[in-house]
Amino acid sequence: MTMYQRIRRAALGTTAAATVAMSVLAAGAAQAETIKITAAAGHPPVFLWVKLMHEFFIPEVDKRLAAKGNHKIEWTEAYGGTVAKIGGVLEAIEEGLVDMGFVGTIFEAPKMPLQNVSYLTPFGTDNISVVSGTIAKLQKDIPEMNAAWSKHNQRYLGGAALDTYHLYTSFPVKTMDDLKGRKISAPGPSANWIKGTGAVAVSGNLKTYYNDIKTGVSEGTLTFATGAWGSKVYEVAPYITKVNFGSQFAGGISINKDTWDGFPQEVRDVFQAVADEYSARFAATQQAIATKLLAKMVESGSKMSEFSAAERARWANTVPNVASAWAAGLDKKGLPGTKVLKGYMSALIASGADIPRDWSKK
């Protein structure tokens, strides 16, 4: 922790104590105490994880606190990178530049490697609730996972997982063999998903996929339906092959620990209850939107097909087991990589999901 962070934390601790004192005084005066909170996100509200913060989490907290009559929040919402850009929200909350926000753990892999276990275990489940619920449970059961948040002076409230990834290409794909020699946009950990198929991974993101495919830099991508629709990837990659690489944990809402510690218990209870419902609502809404958007893509001219269970299993057993290597590497660093990997895979299998390969087994 830097000297600035220590000073900032001490200041926030003093402020938190003062907030509690103000709460008592306000209650004695029979009027609601006002607490100022700044909420941030790197993405704009057009993305569901931010949209639900703005349209559900904040108004629902206000509604429940108003019903109790003791406290109210004065919100400042800073989305779209206005205060903290994508990949910078964790640090902004840690340093107290903002009080809370949506932390994209997929952009914080060096600081939060254990939270990225789903990206190392493709061909999982398309059930968003199972993925987000499993990560939430692992964070409660495995101290080192929770410590990834507390180490950065914050408390995890609730999370979100993206809808399952499929293959979007400019050419038809009937079997895995059709990928040989093809260039596929598959950034970060997802590049491992095509190893052994003969395809070449091309770096990129939702902002670059469309032009990359249109100009021939790549010939397709691995992405999720809600992302494919928003980036219009389906227009240049009209062949949608439902492979079901699995839903992926994206991150969650967290709050500065000093801010949290300064909350009266009543406020903490409301925040956590609403955060739990945020997680459930996100999963249900994201799933429904993904299904609807896939249908819209077909209506717009996309051609959709689906891999057989046998072909999906063939692909899963072709790629190298990077998950075990990832877990072993974390074990050497003193982190429970193997424990997290086994816990994650066990939960997916217990959910009844069609898992063609258990990545916790070498």
What pLDDT shows up at residue 30?
52
Distant-in-sequence, close-in-space partners of 22: CB < 8 Å, separation ≥ 6: 33
Q: Please tell me whether residues 39 and 103 are part of one structural domain.
A: yes
Q: Read out DSSP for 215-266? A: HTS-SEEEEEHHHHHHTTHHHH--EEEE-----EEEEEEEEEHHHHHTS-HH
Q: Are 169 and 155 members of one domain?
A: no
Say whether pLDDT at 49 is over 50. Answer: yes
| Mean pLDDT over each residue of the chain, to the nearest integer | 91
In this structure, the answer to whether residues 42 and 138 fall within a common structural domain is yes
Q: Do residues 215 and 186 share a domain? A: yes
294-348 per-position pLDDT tens digit: 999 999 999 999 999 999 999 999 999 999 999 999 999 999 999 999 999 999 9
3 state SS of 1: coil
Are residue 197 and residue 337 in the same domain, yes or no? yes
Q: How many domains does the chain have?
A: 2
Give the DSSP H or E segment for 271.
helix 265-299
pLDDT above 60 for 1 = no
- Among the listed ranges 70-84, 194-208, 318-332, which one has the minimum average pLDDT value? 194-208
Specify whether 191 is located in the same domain as 243: yes
The total of other beta-carbon atoms located within 10 Å of residue 334's CB is 8
The 3-state DSSP class for residue 272 equals helix
Cα separation, 39 vs 262, in Å, equals 16
Residue 43, sorted as left (phi over 0), alpha (psi -120 to 50) or beta, turns out to be beta
Owning domain of residue 207: 165-247+295-321+329-350
Output the pLDDT for position 6. 46
Type of residue at 323: A
Rounded percentage of the chain residues whose pLDDT exceeds 70: 92
Higher-confidence residue: 28 or 180?
180
154-162: strand order across its sheet: 71-78, 33-40, 100-104, 248-256, 154-162
Distance CA 285, CA 282 (A): 5
pLDDT per residue as tens digits for the range 175-186: 999 999 999 999
User: In the β-sheet with 303-306, what is the strand arrangement from edge to edge?
Assistant: 200-202, 183-185, 220-224, 165-169, 239-242, 303-306
H or E element in which residue 128 lies = helix 128-141
Is residue 211 domain-shared with residue 258, that is, in the same domain? no
In the predicted structure, residue 20 carries a pLDDT above the cut 60: no
| 357 lies in some domain | no
Round to whole Å and give the CA distance between 239 and 168.
6
Quick one: pLDDT at residue 32?
A: 81
Residues 66 and 145 in one domain: yes
Half-sphere exposure of 343 (CA within 13 A, CB side): 20
Q: Which residues have a Cβ under 8 Å from the Cβ of 350 and sit 6 or more positions away? A: none
Signed CA dihedral, 142, 153, 62, 14: sign only: positive
pLDDT above 70 for 24: no
What integer pLDDT is reported at residue 54 of this predicted model?
Answer: 97
Mean pLDDT calculated for residue range 188-203? 93
Q: Do both 143 and 95 map to the same domain?
A: yes
**pLDDT of the residue at 185:** 96
Best CA proximity match to 83, nearest among 38, 51, 115: 38
